[in-house]
Chains A and B, each alone.
Chain A
């Protein structure tokens, strides 16, 4: 038993690093009042350490802490994505102008991010309903505070109250569903649940439970119709936190969704194909409808937005739809497409948020109309933003195209033609609002000031760090595919 615990601790190194850094940040915050971003650097260092710790975990496929969490390539893959995005979020935060008035509390900010990262790490690896819920709440509670961090801002305040009410109710619904599952299967362990359910006749209660859990996770993913918080919260939150919510926590929730549904609610039918269990609820169709609704609503509503954060909020709702398409197809191919999408989405969406943040800093505008003529004042960043947007649209030769290609491919191969058609049409719609940004930047002359704007090297370096993968992965993505190929191993699943 103690040996098991010791082994488990050995597998828990990255999380421990994070917890340690969390503590160090608190201490550092007390000791070094002047060094405002010290917490940030500490977190950054710990995240980089985590990154290396994950590389040590490659190939391990086991479970830890009495089947509470799994350390398997699948979770490592997602944790790598989370760490990368976490690093960028920290870098963004250091430049975020909105946070400057709160610099005496900035240590808390990084501490909360560290907590959130920890929660998300646990989300992607937990194999127990209780653990899942705890990780989920850890992430949520930290994010509630982060959203309201710029508390003098009235928008931030409003978004935080909305977020916490919405989040609490959603997680309440989810845990209610979990309690029903627990009652029916007699266990909180997802493998045991799966085993118990595979012999089960269809039961309406079970279906309701699945729906309730979907509602909870769907809240995190911002999946229609559980997305309503997203636009308001994204708009109100500080930019870096918006990026964190739109990218990192969304990906973590998708990973959790995949693990839960793959392990517990998917069995094997007579022909050896994967099938949903028990047969009471067609949750693949349900998710497909949600995905379609997300794509439709996200893209169409985004057409009308002028605030870039709000526009990106809707756009990320739409992207949640694309991602869920991969879950719907129920195959390893679909899951690998989701992983690829997540990887690509990370860079292009973070890039877009970063640019929006930079422009908010420099031009103090979040309005797309306010972007007029930026292409002539800051050509490099404007071109970069255009490339990110093009990538989000899904045009080659960018990463976004490859991501869409694989998602669409998986869906076509599994026969979800109608879903792909919806996705295709909505991709066309998405062109409008993405290209509108580029249009305003390049097709109009600058109004008022026309001086060129310079960005420091640090900024340029971050832009390049984000831009390079978007372009390179658009034409050469073999390494990512290799990575995914090796990461498609989930503990306890053949």
Chain B
């Protein structure tokens, strides 16, 4: 059993890589440019992952399997050898995550066959998807921080390639670079965090680090460093999961093909951050967790406010993703471990569905506009849509299910997880007094319902502003609608818990348990038992409250956009500055542009100037001085400045010039120097 698990996980890891290599080198020569190859390989890995999930959950529920192999051995003559290991760790978290990754990846592959048809780099696209899946799988399977970091960066690169896939567009390459660099900032923090742990424990592997902590062995014997390590590693998650303040890359990343957005920016890559927090949970101190919770809450709030105001269908979804990721991070920070992770899973399904649905809409819009030779209407702007319901029935109904799920309406998967998180916030505040968290969480839940229905209504309901424009609009092909249907099915409650009103009794909650904290007691957050009791006590009020708030949000959206009882413009005018701020994404991009990009730019200019003017010849600014000696300077330029670039040399040149002037050509002067020399030496040395 264990062996087969190892072999399966190895296969799951390397099959996508093989797909990538084959497609990169031979993609163009394969029939249909090899799309079938990529898709079927992922299909196979999906089946393997499902098998692993079922057998793991059913047979050895709480066991953790690990496999280790030495990568590098550093021998140190004074204190033995340090082995740096690579390896797998398979527990319930892993198998669930594997299935999520593989499933979404498979569906995205399938969807892309239709969506990317006719692209100039069709096979390259599938190759990149394979590379991405490989990297993501690596993150999921790893049992150590080094491999986590390695695949973390590989994910970054493959997302770079995918976001910038249409690299002829400047906006796409900008977005790709931005995504990479912003992620890199988070990664730098993560790298430092990893260094702290490695230097102290001489290993990257989770297990010995945790057991070391459990034995009371803190990094540098200081709780501050432990907290710092936790927060720094969390920085990686901040980058990847687009948490405040590094969330700015995600909306821009929508420049990539829409299925890529579904894969990377909804379901998998951004979830990696959450997964990382879940993995590191045993070593996070209460202080670190509170930081994490607040970062999550702030992210959720900021993103939700922005999503209220956006018109680009993918931008709305992007901000909604950020907001939901904030929810998950917050949940983990509070200690609502299973709820947060469950939200990751349910969100992966319905958000992937939303993106693919949006992709379907954009695809249809684009084709329709293309037929009309209309190249200036934005195919992604919801103001240009409306009334698509009748023309795209499958997309419409599946989209509705996804929207209900994200709004948190009962009977959907989203309700289950979101409800648990909201209950968690209440429980946390009741234990610790952080009342801000539940207030933010409930507000955001309401906002989510509002802006999602706003999006939904504007896209599909009402009448189209210009009927003729969408006269050629058609439902997308089967390869695109089948994934939607599958995901819609997965957005219902049955797959997670048989009780539509509470997840806590389902298999998920029994399989995914909050891991025990491994750090000294004084630093731990409230224990799982206490927390769960509090949740239980507050579950019913939370449930009622969340349903009411979701309902209010939906009602608001319908009121404004369906029935047009109040004008959206008037409302936004009433909010004035707030609206303007939200509409402009709270000016994060501008601020970063000025402060960091501009600052860096100026700094580099200064340094370059410094390098070329100051260092390079302490006085290449001998230029200014030597203006006085302009004749000489020209001579210098032609002959010696080439070599005498710095002041010393310049000075030597001057000295030489002066000394040379002693040679007057008059013999009597020479003799005078001799006599003078003898006398001077006499007085000095006698």
Contacts from A to B (Cβ < 8 Å)? 161-162, 165-166, 169-170, 173, 204, 207-208, 211-212, 215, 219, 225-226, 228-229, 231-232, 280-283, 285-286, 289-290, 296-297, 299-304, 429, 431-432, 435-436
Contact = CB atoms under 8 A, between A and B. Distances in A.
A137 to B, nearest CB: 18
B667 A226 contact: no
B655 interface: yes
Contacts of A212: 678
Contacts of B649: 429, 432
Interface stretch (B364-372, B524-532, B610-618, B636-644): B636-644
B671 A169 contact: yes
A225 B685 contact: no
Contacts of A297: 659
Contacts of A296: 655, 659
Given A207-B682, A207-B685, A228 B656 contact: no
Contact of B667 (A165, A285, A304, A435): A165
Contacts of A226: 674, 677
Contacts of B671: 165-166, 169
A208 B680 CA distance: 11
B674 A211 contact: no
B674 A169 contact: yes
Nearest to A219: B674
Contacts of A300: 652-653, 655-656, 659-660
A232 B685 contact: no
Contacts, number: 92
A297 B662 CA distance: 10
B636 to A, nearest CB: 10
Contacts of B676: 225
B670 interface: yes
B681 interface: yes
B657 interface: yes
Contacts of A432: 640, 643-644, 649
A170 B670 CA distance: 11
Interface of B: 639-640, 643-644, 649, 652-653, 655-657, 659-660, 662-663, 665, 667, 669-671, 673-674, 676-678, 681-682, 684-686
Contacts of A286: 681, 684-685
How would you classify the secondary structure of chain A's contact residues: helix, strand, loop or mixed? helix
Contacts of A280: 686
Given A225-B674, A280-B686, 20 more contacts: A162-B667, A165-B667, A173-B678, A211-B681, A219-B674, A225-B677, A226-B677, A228-B670, A231-B663, A232-B663, A281-B686, A282-B685, A283-B685, A286-B685, A297-B659, A299-B656, A304-B656, A429-B652, A436-B639, A436-B640
Contacts of B655: 296, 300
A290 B678 CA distance: 11
Nearest to B644: A432
Contacts of A162: 667, 670
Contacts of A302: 656
B653 A232 contact: no
Contact of A207 (B669, B670, B677, B686): B686
Nearest to B680: A225
A225 B659 contact: no
Nearest to A207: B686
6 contacts: A207-B686, A228-B662, A286-B685, A300-B656, A300-B659, A301-B659
B686 A215 contact: no
A112 to B, nearest CB: 22
A208 B682 CA distance: 7
A227 to B, nearest CB: 9
A228 B663 contact: yes
A131 B644 CA distance: 48
B674 A232 contact: no
Given A211-B681, A215-B677, A283-B685, A303 B640 contact: yes
Contact of B665 (A232, A285, A435): A232
Nearest to B669: A228
Contacts of A173: 674, 678
A431 to B, nearest CB: 8
A286 B683 CA distance: 11
B678 A301 contact: no
Contacts of B677: 215, 225-226
B673 A225 contact: yes
Contacts of B659: 296-297, 300-301
Contacts of B684: 286, 289
Nearest to B686: A207
Contacts of A207: 682, 685-686
B524 to A, nearest CB: 64
